[in-house]
Structure 1
Amino acid sequence: MPLCNYNMGKNKLQKFRELEQLEHVFQVPSEQLRAGQQCEMKGRWREFFGNDNPIVLELGCGKGEYTVELGKRFPDKNYIGIDIKGARLWTGAKESFNCGMKNVAFVRTNIEMLPYFFDKDEVSEIWLTFPDPQMKKKTKRLTSTGFLNCYTGIVKPGGLLHLKSDSNFMYTYTKAVVAENQLKVVDLCDDIYAQRLDDAILSIKTYYEQQWLARGITIKYICFELDPKDEWKEPEVEIELDPYRSYGRNKRSELNLTD
């Protein structure tokens, strides 16, 4: 094994060990969840935080930048970052621990496993920050009807879903889903840094968001209410693909998108 790969693997193992020691990080192996085991905190998150403040999730939180910053700016809410990548999640977990933050926690799991970690109506809001638009795989889009149905099992009626995205495809698709299912739009913006520069929530910039902005890509935002439906309907709409996502990751990083 090349030395760089060895060190990388060693660093990951160290981070995994540290995550196990952090009391505000929760992990249950997928095989145990599929066998019916629930997370010990399901239905008890307010007990963990020691208050009745609203609980807000960031799904696919990556390094937890948004989770931590929201926790700093809004101490009257409790924030939980969720991601399957432990080595990434470690960054936000360590920062929140070192800062002594009491309103931030992290869960390492797949998003499909949310019902094993949260009880009915236990969550007030969900944030999706720059999710993969999954242009070829509708069922994997985090605003598809399958996922919305999952979210409504844990989010209280009328709870909010926030989507912040560089992807015009994802933004357009989500608007179509919302319209097709007659969900109430709370806020909508197709260029937040041109229209909402002073917004305390939307002005938080993640590492990847700064990269998109540097390439001249506008950042979109939609917020809507989540309500359970007897039947969810996928929109029948053709959406133009994001051209920069037709390249591989290395090609996208080299591409000057402002030309």
Structure 2
Amino acid sequence: MTHHLELSHQQQRAFQPQKLSAPRDFIVPDRSINAELPLVLEIGAGKGKHALSFAQQNPDKHLIAIERTRNKFDAFAKLAAQQKSSNLSAIHADAIAWIVHAIAPNSIERIFILYPNPEQHNPNQQWLNMPFFEFLLSRLQVGGEVVLATNIEAYMDNAEQQANEVWCLPNTRHKVASDSQRTHFEVKYLARGETCWQLNMRKSEGYKTRFDTWQASSEA
């Protein structure tokens, strides 16, 4: 299995984390209250519908939810302040730069990427097509999973293919239940009668990336 991995994703163009500067006003969230809780990450949290409910329903996890768009983040931050969940960190930043500078290797239990921009005119920006995805997997614990959801079947077909052929991740694909309400997009798509898809990808024992020991320097 390891040999197969080296022939696949480790032959891809390598991500270059050392070239990314830290986001503006960068600070790592204070987890002193919840230092012992497993970490969960959400990329593209939008207005926070999923993040807020996940934090409430999973007091035994600490969720870091990242949103880049200012107006969406402001709406999310306002609701998060009202909810006062000590196990939720709302982050306004570009996810790639923030993760590079804030997240240690092998530290995340689960990563949610729910209804990302489909990037239909720029498929190189789809998450599983990016060299960054290898770095993201280095931050995931062994046995941890990436959860991807989309309403665009072609996006899901490509993600499933990449998970199998490039990233060599055991995975399962299924249709999202028609009454699911995790995000505003999910509610909207399901209400229109669209099919939404979910791909769960697991990092297996012995999985290797080129970034398993890489960490940003504190001076960066």
TM-score interval (norm. to shorter): 0.7 to 0.9
Matched with 1:74 is: 58
**CA separation in 2, counterparts of 1:129 and 1:168?**
14
Quote the offset at 1:184 in angstroms: 1.2
User: Which position in structure 2 is the counterpart of 1:130?
Assistant: 115
Aligned partner of 2:195 in structure 1 is: 218
- Structure 2, unmatched stretches of 5+, are 1-19, 211-220
| Structure 2 Cα separation of the partners of residues 137 and 158 of structure 1 | 31
Match of 2:35 among 32, 37, 51: 51
Residue matched to 1:251? none
Q: 2:159 aligns to what?
A: 174
| Inter-partner Cα distance in structure 1 for 2:136 and 2:73 | 21
CA displacement 1:23-65 (0-9 Å, x = unmatched): xxxxxxxxxx627989442xx7543x43311111110111111
Q: Structure 2: which amino acid aligns with 1:173?
A: N
Map 1:121-200; keep pairs closer than 5 Å.
121-180=106-165, 181-185=167-171, 187-189=172-174, 191-193=175-177
Distance 2:22 2:76 in 1: 29
Q: 1:34 corresponds to which letter in structure 2?
A: S
Q: The residue matched to 2:42 in structure 1 has which SS?
A: strand
Q: Give aligned pairs, total.
A: 187
Partner Cα separation in structure 1 for residue 25 and residue 164 of structure 2: 34
Structure ranking higher on relative contact order (CA contacts 8 Å, 6+ apart): 2
1:101 equivalenced with 2:85 (yes/no)? yes
Task: Specify the alignment match of 1:24 in structure 2.
Answer: none
Match of 1:204 in 2: 181
User: How many Å separate the matches in 1 of 2:106 and 2:30?
Assistant: 12
Matched to 2:94, the amino acid is N
Counterparts of 2:53 and 2:140 in 1: how far apart (Å)?
A: 22
Identity %: 19
Aligned residues of 2:106 and 2:140 also touching (Cα < 8 A): yes
Contact 2:135 2:209 in 1 (8 A): no
Instruction: Tell me the equivalent position of 1:238.
Output: none
Residue type at the aligned position of 1:105 = S
Distance 2:74 2:196 in 1: 26
Matched, 1:85 2:64: no
Q: Is the 8 A contact 2:108 2:139 kept in 1?
A: yes
Task: State how far apart, in whole Å, the 1-side matches of 2:23 and 2:78 are.
Answer: 30
Which one is further off, 127-136 or 91-100? 91-100
Query: Rg larger in 1 or in 2?
Result: 1
RMSD, matched Cα: 2.5
How many angstroms does 1:147 deviate by? Answer: 2.9
Q: Deviations over 1:177-208 (max 9, x none)?
A: 111032111x420x2225xx6xxxxx333222
How far residue 118 of structure 1 moved from its aligned partner, in angstroms, is 1.4
Structure 1 residues 80 and 210: CA distance shift in structure 2, 3 A = same
Relative to the length of structure 2, the TM-score reads: 0.75
Instruction: Specify whether residues 120 and 37 from structure 1 end up closer, same or farther in structure 2 by C-alpha distance, changes over 3 A only.
Output: farther
The answer (yes or no) to whether the contact 2:22–2:101 under 8 Å persists in 1 is no
Q: Which amino acid aligns with 1:65?
A: K
